[in-house]
Amino acid sequence: MKDWNLVVTSYMWQEERLLQELAGLGEFRPSGFTAVILGKVPEVGEFLEALKTLWEKSPFLPEYLSSVVPIRTVFPFTVENLAERLKEEMRVLGPDLKGKAFYVRLKRRGHKGEFSSQGVEQALDQFLKDEFCSRLDCRIDFQAPDLIITVETIHNQCGLGLVTREMKERYPFIKIK
């Protein structure tokens, strides 16, 4: 799937069952990585609300669904240009960071041993700090962030999203560590 706005993970050996549960909520396909599903929905907020209702009504859904990560934009990358492409895409986040505590979290799927997730996270945290924090009163905070900037690499595609504290509190299936 080339155009996605959700990364959904199942618990081990529950991917097919979770795909069945999600069938009426949008377009969902296996990513090629175990327990990782890519989704495309017309409106992420509506999907999260529908999934929350299903989560509350279906006693078994929490046994299949591990996490959901909303994605704002998806773009292709190479290992060599990943950091620069992410910096380009992150420049539009300035207004979202104003007055906020944040950090970057990258989940790498593919390219094992070709780049360090932690190294990219640290470089992006520093980039955002240098680019925005002095003029927008934002700061990096791993303990009590207002926002988590999520980066998901799937093969040679990268998804970038924002998860707010309110989203994590409202939706028990949004889990970013």
Q: Does some domain include residue 172?
A: no
Residues 96, 160 within the same domain: yes
Note the pLDDT tens digit of each residue in 50-109.
999 999 998 889 999 999 999 999 999 999 999 999 999 999 988 999 999 999 999 999
157 plus 91 within the same structural domain:
yes
Give the structural domain span for 138: 73-167
Query: Mean pLDDT for the chain?
Result: 93
Q: Are residues 18 and 91 in the same domain?
A: no
Identify the domain boundary among 38, 70, 102.
70
Does a structural domain hold residue 173?
Answer: no
Region at 162 (left for phi over 0; alpha for psi -120 to 50; beta for the rest): beta
SS3 assignment, position 73: strand
pLDDT above 90 for 177: no
Phi, psi of 64 (to 5 degrees): -105, -40
Indicate the pLDDT class of residue 2, thresholds 50, 70 and 90.
Answer: confident
Same domain, 86 and 159: yes
Please state, in angstroms and as integers, the Cα–Cα distance from residue 119 to each residue in 69, 103, 106, following that order. Answer: 21, 13, 10
With cut-offs at 50, 70 and 90, classify the pLDDT of residue 1.
low
Across the beta sheet with 139-140, the strand order is 73-76, 157-164, 147-154, 101-109, 139-140
Report how far residue 31's alpha carbon sits from residue 40's, in angstroms, rounded to the nearest whole number: 12
Please indicate, yes or no, if residue 177 is contained in any of the structural domains.
no
* Helix/strand/coil percent split, the chain, to 5: 40, 30, 30
> Do 18 and 63 fall within a single domain?
yes
Residue 175 lies inside a defined structural domain of this protein: no
Q: Are 36 and 113 within one domain?
A: no
pLDDT digits (tens, 9 = 90+) for 140-156: 999 999 999 999 999 99
- Are 6 and 27 a contacting pair, CB within 8 Å? no
Q: pLDDT (tens digit, 9 = 90+) per residue, 41-58?
A: 999 999 999 999 999 998
pTM over 0.85: yes
Residue 113 scores a pLDDT above 90: no
Residue 148 burial by Cβ neighbours in a 10 Å radius (0-12, 13-18, 19+): buried
Count structural domains, the chain. 2
pLDDT interval class at 112 (50, 70, 90): confident
- Contact yes or no for 42/50 (Cβ under 8 A): no
Does 81 share its domain with 147? yes
15 three-class SS: helix
